[in-house]
Chain A
């Protein structure tokens, strides 16, 4: 039963502390997304990777957020230092982008993890 695994499921931390969220994508998937969900902003795309290379992280506050893929089985999202406004549910999703000659990637269905609920106090 292939699934995206996120850890931890819940995290409560004090303002100023470093937070690391981890994601294990589905084996064989070549695309990883990080989303943040809040009531006010909805689902925001923070960053996404293809074949472990970052393609777009324009949705991510650069001064405190960083996203990496140390290897094909692990994606990390770090916040340092954390702030109360970072409180949200963070989702990782993976997918297998199909490529057509001359058209680039298409039809990537995203498989979501259960999310990490982050509370910064």
Chain B
């Protein structure tokens, strides 16, 4: 079963705009991670945020975490055509780090 659920399922924006994706999860977590998957490829780790952190930045990526609402958001600023991919959140549980993934958001950047 899925631990996380991304919203929206699909998102299309113009190049240069910002893209925001959300993730909701069900149980207590140790950390939340975001991954990207290009068509036909494996997943690539983007960023990890711990349960005691509220916000984290990495280049054009900004991740927020609200443990009271069991939700996270991924913001990609100044989007590029190369950002077209599916984005997944994954949660790690305390103690065993069993990584379970959400359903993903399909992001399309229109040149």
Contacts and interface: CB of A to CB of B under 8 A. Distances in A.
Interface residues of B, number: 26
B92 to A, nearest CB: 6
B100 interface: yes
B35 to A, nearest CB: 8
Q: Interface size class for chain A? A: 20 to 34
Contacts of A106: 30-31, 50, 92, 94, 97
Interface string B11-25: 000000000000000
Contacts of B45: 109-111
Nearest to B44: A112
Given A106-B92, A107-B31, A107-B48, A112 B97 contact: no
B50 A104 contact: no
20 contacts: A31-B97, A33-B99, A35-B101, A43-B104, A55-B96, A104-B94, A106-B31, A106-B50, A106-B97, A107-B31, A107-B92, A108-B92, A108-B97, A109-B45, A109-B48, A110-B43, A110-B99, A112-B42, A112-B43, A114-B41
